[in-house]
Amino acid sequence: MKFSTIRRFIRYYRPHMKLFSLDMLCALVVSIIDLVYPSVAEKIIDSCEGLAAGTGTLTAEGILRTILLLGALLLVIYIVKMGCNMFIAYWGHVIGTRMQGHMRHDVFHHLQTLPLKYYDNTETGTIMSKVYNDLFDVSELAHHAPENFFLAGIMMIGSFVILVQKCWQLTLIIFLFVPIIVAFALFMRKRMHEAFSSCRKKTGEMNADVQNSVSGIRVTRAYTSRDHELDKFDRINGEFVAASSYRYKSMGQFHSGMTFLMDLLYLMALVGGGIFLYRGAITIGAFTAFLLYINSFLKPINMLVALFEQVQEGATGFERFLGLMDEPEEKDDPGAVAVDKVEGTIAFEHVSFDYRDQETIGDDKLLIHDLNIEIPAGKTVALVGPSGGGKTTLCHLIPRFYEISDGRILIDGQDIRSMTRDSLRANIGIVAQDVFLFNGTIRENIAYGNFNASQQEIEEAARRANIHDHIMSLPEGYDTNVGERGVRLSGGQKQRISIARAFLKNPPILILDEATSALDNATEMQIQASLEELGRGRTEIVVAHRLSTVKKADEIIVIDERGVAERGTHEELMEQDGIYAGLYRYQFREA
Ligand code: ADP
């Protein structure tokens, strides 16, 4: 882990410094208390031994009193330890959870500011995995790591100091073994890190697949493509199992290796200590204390081993979290100002754009190349042409969903880049073919147009969108839950809700992107009336393939793969007798 990563991690501790310090204090008390027991045992054994050998200073009664006194002292100490352990287990986890909550807040906030391009290239499941699984591991690391590191550190240093006093030669022999353990742990570290990373990645992919599959369940049913979905899932699931198995293999090697090294350490203490005892260099009490202290020396090593895993998981999770946090946000340009309600004149001046990297594709291959359009305030421009020509894209450039590479887009003569995004977007309403409703009530969904709207305003918007009567006929009225993505409503009803949203927002600029294309003719006719009312007095950009709806536009622009192919009023284009006239005649005959 890089230093800057650690620094960013530490930043999350700041609001919890008080609790965290107390947590550390408790860890300190626990680790010191754990060092007491072997010394007490040594004292008791040596006193009894002295009495038996006739070399002790205490009488039998004195020894008994000492034993009881020490026992009582230990009992008190252990009660304190219980309290400290409770604090560590409870508040330690609470600190972790609060930090996790803080990080989740940051990541969600960041997700709200990322450009749409990020979402075009990232699967939802992967994002979910970062927000949930990864951050859980991070929070576990956040409190366990410092607690255990502290506990282990104190115990190791403490037991070392005490062991040296008991028998420094034996202590040195044992401590010479520690570098071997550290070297082994470091060697395994890299392998485990890779294994954990790959496992995380696979979890993300698997989440993405399940999410995708569940969202597409209707398509799966309709096309009876269950086997295909199963195959796809089984492949990813298999890859996950393989990655996970490799992770457990590396964990297994690590664990068994570490345990073996520690067993060797025990063995050395036993044999070495035995020899020293045999030679009379140490007392039985010291020998026993030595063995017990080896335990308090091994315990922190064990803790560090567990910590190691946690650090691996947590660090991998935190790095993935940072990866997301470091995705560049959509930022307003320097000096951008918030605009109020605009008049609504829109101008495209020599605008170029493509989703692909423009360096690698030629200028003439750009999706939008050197485009000029002028729409006076309150007028309507219709975009028509074959699918894939870039009509939707063009609409999305106005609210700056994507950044143009050349030229300028002006609203009321002002470059949209000089406006804050929020204020720009507040001036634009979009009614598109795909209506997205959030899981929630009808009221909440309409209120997306204006969160400050009163119930009356919401109802007025619904009335103008011709959906009020229908809503009122539902048992729960405006409180009816629309279901995930609005599954409980028909296409026409969803579209009316989105129109009501636009009414409520009341923007000077309106984009209708194939708003009625997914609807049947009868529904389209009804909705068309609402849309006409919605468009009144606004600057409108209408994308439609049903030309009856664009006929009245002030200008019709025909866009094909090469860019603007024709432009003019309906009459002018019919006279030109080009693409538009052909399409119109075809549809007219069809009708
Ligand atoms: P239209 O609205 O005229 O049907 P679009 O603007 O939707 O056309 O799409 C124009 C082209 O841009 C298509 O070739 C499409 O594949 C591509 N495209 C659309 N959206 C994206 C996106 N988010 N990322 C990459 N390419 C896209």
pLDDT in tens, 103-157: 999 999 999 999 998 998 888 878 888 888 888 888 888 888 888 888 888 888 8
Say whether both 352 and 382 belong to one domain: yes
342 and 232, same domain (yes or no): no
Distance in Å, CA 225 to ligand 1 centroid: 27
| Contact yes or no for 34/297 (Cβ under 8 A) | no
- From the CB of 223, is ligand 1 less than 6 Å away? no
Output the CA 152–ligand 1 centroid distance in Å: 58
- 3-class DSSP assignment, residue 513: strand
Average pLDDT of the residues in 22-41? 87
**Residue of 423, 432, 428, 435 lying closest to 505 (CA atoms):** 428
For ligand 1, whether the C-beta of 121 sits within 6 Å is no
> Among 365, 367, 543, 564, which is best to mutate for testing ligand 1, by the most ligand atoms less than 8 A from CB?
367
Q: Which atom of ligand 1 is nearest to 559's Cα? A: 3
- Atom index in ligand 1 nearest the CA of residue 394 equals 6
What was the pLDDT predicted at 56? 67
Q: For ligand 1, say whether the CB of 344 is within 6 Å of any of its atoms.
A: no
Domain housing 258: 3-325
- Does the pLDDT value for residue 191 go beyond 70? yes
| CATH code of the domain in which 176 resides | 1.20.1560.10
Same-domain status, 376 and 238: no
- 279 and 395 belong to one structural domain: no
- Own/partner contacts of 291-294, CB < 8 Å, gap of 24 or more, are 292/37, 292/38, 292/41, 293/38, 293/159, 293/162, 293/163, 293/166, 294/159, 294/163, 294/174, 294/265, 294/266, 294/269
Residue 326 DSSP one-character state: T
Q: Of the candidates 301, 325, 349, which is a domain's last residue?
A: 325
CB 370 within 8 A of CB 350: yes
- Most informative mutation of 365, 392, 393 for ligand 1 (most atoms within 8 A of CB): 393
Single out the residue of 362, 402, 390 nearest to residue 121, CA to CA: 402
Q: What separation in Å is there between the alpha carbon of 580 and the centre of ligand 1?
A: 21
What would the pLDDT profile of 41-98 be if each residue is shown by its tens digit?
888 887 787 777 777 677 778 878 888 888 898 899 999 999 999 999 999 899 999 9
**Atom number of ligand 1 nearest to Cα 395:** 6
Mean pLDDT to the nearest integer, 248-276: 88
- Is residue 355 lining ligand 1, measured as CB closer than 6 Å? yes
Query: How much of the chain, in percent, has pLDDT values that exceed 90?
Result: 31
Q: Across the strands, what pairs with 408?
A: 349
Interval between CA 378 and ligand 1 midpoint (Å): 27
Which ligand 1 atom sits closest to the C-alpha of 396?
6
pLDDT of residue 145: 85
- Any domain includes 21: yes
Helix (H), strand (E) at residue 511? strand 509-513
Q: How many Cα atoms occupy the beta-carbon half-sphere of 589 within 13 Å?
A: 6
- The enclosing domain of 542 has a CATH number of 3.40.50.300
| Residue 261's pLDDT band (cuts 50, 70, 90) | confident
Nearest-CA residue for atom 26 of ligand 1? 355
Q: Are residues 278 and 167 in the same domain?
A: yes
pLDDT over 80 at 301, yes or no: no
The confidence score (pLDDT) of residue 104 equals 92
557 lines ligand 1 (CB under 6 A): no
d(CA 453, CA 17): 42
Q: For residue 403, report the distance from its CA to the centre of ligand 1, in Å.
A: 14
Angle between helices 17-34 and 36-53 (to 10 degrees): 20
101 Cβ inside 6 Å of ligand 1: no
For the segment 374-403, the average pLDDT, to the nearest whole number, is: 91
In this structure, is residue 591 part of a structural domain? Answer: yes
Least confident of 52-61, 220-229, 238-247, 523-532: 52-61
Q: 367: Cβ below 6 Å to ligand 1?
A: yes
pLDDT of 211 reads 81
Same domain (yes/no): 225, 298: yes
* CA–CA separation, 290 and 281 (whole Å): 13
Closest CA to 374 of 195, 133, 554: 554
Ligand 1 pocket, 300 CB below 6 A?
no
Q: H-helix or E-strand containing 407?
A: strand 406-411
* Closest CA relative to residue 546, chosen from 506, 584, 504: 584
Q: How many domains does the chain have?
A: 2
| Beta strand 406-411 pairing with 414-415 | antiparallel
How many A from CA of 561 to the centre of ligand 1? 11
Go through the chain and tell me how many residues it has: 591
155 within domain boundaries: yes
42-56, 258-272, 446-460, 486-500: least confident range: 42-56
The closest residue, in CA terms, to atom 20 on ligand 1 is 393
C-beta 390 within 6 A of ligand 1: yes
Instruction: Report how many helices (DSSP H) and strands (DSSP E) the chain contains, helices first.
Output: 20, 10
175 with 303, same domain: the answer is: yes
Whether residue 161 sits in one domain with residue 227: yes
Index of the ligand 1 atom closest to the CA of residue 393? 6
Q: What is the pLDDT of residue 99?
A: 92
Percentage of residues of the chain with pLDDT beyond 70? 99
Residue-by-residue DSSP string for 179-239: HHHHHHHHHHHHHHHHHHHHHHHHHHHHHHHHHHHHHTHHHHHHTT-HHHHHHHHHHHHHH
* Span 4-24, average pLDDT: 91
CB-ligand 1 contact for 393 (6 Å cutoff): yes
CA of 335 to the centre of ligand 1 (A): 31
Final residue of a structural domain among 296, 325, 354: 325
> Has residue 490 got a pLDDT over 90?
no
Closest CA to 111 of 125, 131, 134: 131
pLDDT digits 0-9 by tens, 358-367: 777 777 778 8
538-557: b (≥16 Cβ within 10 Å) or e: bbbbbbbbbbebbeebebbb
